[in-house]
Amino acid sequence: MEQENPYYSQSPPPIPAAPPPIPMQLGVPHGHHPPTTADDRSMAMLCHLLTILTGFIGPLILWLVKKDTSPFVNHHGKEALNFQITMFLVSLIVVIASVVIALVTLGTGIFLLFPIFMVFPILILVAEIMACVAANRGEWYRYPCCIRIL
């Protein structure tokens, strides 16, 4: 006796739908970054850590030396430098505004900006530490509220 083939009696399986498009971030598909090595993560972390100790000079030197060897270090070096440039510009604006307010109010208006002088460095330090930790984990971190110059 001939056995009936079950595939003839059933309809064909449905064709799967096309996958959704991959969102782009930093010129690389999101979630599709090249793998990072321990050396890459250490150098990227050092880019952010050096901003705390040397300002923009340390990250600039490290970025210039390592930018062509690792896309991960290139990204984090640019982010550290862009953040330092942005914070310098914001600090310059705050200082100019405080001088103008002090001149207009004969020095008493400076007390209005005193909390900014106390909180601003703490916020910068927190952002730099967050970037340092993210780089150490191998994440492609971007600073919030940062002008992208490089």
What is the pLDDT, as a whole number, of residue 7?
A: 57
Highest mean pLDDT among 4-8, 81-85, 146-150: 81-85
72-81 pLDDT per residue, tens: 999 999 999 9
Q: Is-contact 79 141, C-beta < 8 A?
A: yes
Give the contacts of 32 (CB within 8 A, at least 6 positions apart): 22
CA 80 – CA 110 distance, rounded (Å): 30
Scan for tokens 């007390």, then name that residue: 111
Quote the CA–CA distance of 98 and 88 in Å, as a whole number: 15
> What is the residue whose two structure tokens read 């390592």?
66
Picking from 90, 96, 98, the residue whose alpha carbon sits closest to that of residue 123 is: 90
pLDDT value at 54 more than 70: yes
| Nearest one of 83, 81, 117, 85 to 99, comparing CA atoms | 117
Is residue 71's pLDDT more than 60?
A: yes
DSSP 98-115: HHHHHHHTTTTTHHHHHH
Q: What is the pLDDT of residues 98-111, one digit of tens each?
A: 889 888 988 887 78
Q: How crowded is residue 116: how many other Cβ atoms within 10 Å of its Cβ?
A: 15
**pLDDT, tens digit, 9 for 90 and up, residues 9-49:** 666 667 766 665 545 444 454 556 777 889 999 999 999 99
